[in-house]
Amino acid sequence: MKKLFLAAMLCVAFISNAQTLGYNDIGVLFSKENINGTARFNAMSGAFGALGGDLSSLEMNPAGAAVFLKSEFALTFGANTIETTSNYYGNNEFSESDNADITQSGGVFVFNTYSQNSNWGKIALGFNYSLANDFENFWIANGNSNYPTWIEDPNDENIMYLNSDGQYFENLTDGKNSKYTFTFASEYNNNLYVGASISTYDVEHYQQILLEEYNNDGNGNNLDASLIQELFTFGEGFSFNFGLISKPNENLRLGLAYKSPVWYNLSEDYLDSDLEVYYSNTDELITDYSGINKFDYKLKTPSKFTGSFAYIFNKQGLISVDYIYKNYSDIKLSNSNFSAENQSFKTDLESAGELRIGTEWRFDNVSLRGGYHIEKSPYKNALDSDNIEGFSIGAGYKFRGGKLDFSYQKDSNTGAYNFYPQYNQVNAAELDIDNSKITATLVLNI
């Protein structure tokens, strides 16, 4: 009985020291939306807050719907590659994940309502689907911390596994956050555009981690432990957005937009442990399976403010700049006792800005585009390299009845993942992440 009790306690200890994403991590993850729209939008790094006239721009500033001169439909296909290099105690492991999907589709309908008795001009109704976040990724880490977390043998109290032969980690994520935006906008006096939108979200996030640990006692006895945990989080959310674009003269554009928090209703299915521990001295395998736990809760993400500036060089080209502000410490979990997690949001997170710069130059029916973007990490103790920084390029060809656009994006950042959060003696795996994306969009006038 003593041996069984000790084995059970060891299982519990190991399980508590390896984990999938916690509620604080989920809160930050679901608060982020990537630059993931039409190829024109992506090629200019999403700097469209003062421009409008692009279906993806409606999610930044709904007033941009009234900038459209005619009704149109757009469909976008994207292919994404994530390259992750992990460093764990000096050992590097390279992993690559590739995926492709329809990342945007939608349309806008423009109605001219000019009247001599009113300064209000055309109105526009828009609908757009976008892939707000794609969670598909896989990476591994492998190394030796020289710190065994399993040290006792339930079969023989004289055997102590004090030597570490190494640890191996796998992290698999899948799923996506799909966003559906409905927009209404109108033009006033030919120099002011105002708009409002409502967005709904359908989110699914799946994570599976594998942790393996290999120890020995120095006398030929080995302990091999393996743990799998799974977390499936899913639900729905909604938000609203208001914006305006001012045109002081023919060349200058100014934009301002407010996006509300996203209010999510979330559910989770959690596999706490699928555990195997092997002792070589007795050729014994101890297993433990916790089963699936279910839980429902609510999440409120931070609101977002976007200030935008654009200068139009007649019909030759343009330069556009957006600055986005979010206060991540405003994230809040509810529908259960989340006092510790909500305090962590306020303690560990802060406001973060995102800068987007884009340009476009036209040569007859051909357009060339480029952009730069940097998004500050919301964590107070983050390194400068944890900021997401990247560039984008692209081109478009206009033909009778529509156009074809293409873009390439590249960004990078660093991060860390701690598989042993209860042990300060064990370092997190350090990650270098490179993300590249190719996008193609077909636009048809309707």
Cα torsion 356, 357, 362, 366: sign: negative
Q: Cα separation of 213 and 168, whole Å?
A: 7
Amino acid at 431: L
Phi, psi (degrees; rounded to nearest 5) at 48: -130, 10
Q: Cα separation of 83 and 168, whole Å?
A: 19
pLDDT confidence of residue 18:
53
C-alpha distances in Å from residue 282, one per residue of 105, 153, 221, 290: 60, 10, 9, 25
Phi, psi (degrees; rounded to nearest 5) at 10: -65, -40
Domain of 333, CATH number, reads 2.40.160.60
Reported residue count of the chain is: 446
pLDDT confidence of residue 291:
86
Q: Cα separation of 53 and 55, whole Å?
A: 7
316 secondary structure, DSSP code: T
C-alpha distances in Å from residue 205, one per residue of 23, 134, 137, 316: 13, 9, 11, 44
pLDDT confidence of residue 115:
67
Per-residue model confidence as pLDDT tens digits over 120-179: 889 999 999 999 999 999 999 999 999 998 888 777 888 999 999 999 999 999 999 999
Domain count, the chain: 1
- Tokens in use for 365? 């029916």
423 secondary structure, DSSP code: -
Per-residue model confidence as pLDDT tens digits over 315-351: 899 999 999 999 999 999 999 999 999 999 999 999 9
Q: Cα separation of 232 and 371, whole Å?
A: 35
Q: Cα separation of 279 and 105, whole Å?
A: 55
Q: At what angle do helices 339-348 and 23-30 cross, to 10 degrees?
A: 60
Q: What residues make up the domain containing 198? A: 2-445
pLDDT confidence of residue 6:
44
Residues in contact with 30: Cβ distance below 8 Å, sequence separation at least 6, in sequence order: 133, 177, 203, 205, 262, 264, 299, 301
220 secondary structure, DSSP code: S
Q: pLDDT means per 10 residues in the chain (446 residues)?
A: 44 55 94 96 97 95 96 97 97 96 96 78 95 96 93 83 95 97 95 97 97 94 93 97 96 98 97 88 88 94 98 95 97 96 96 98 96 97 96 97 97 94 91 98 95
Closest CA to 413 of 435, 386, 374, 436: 386
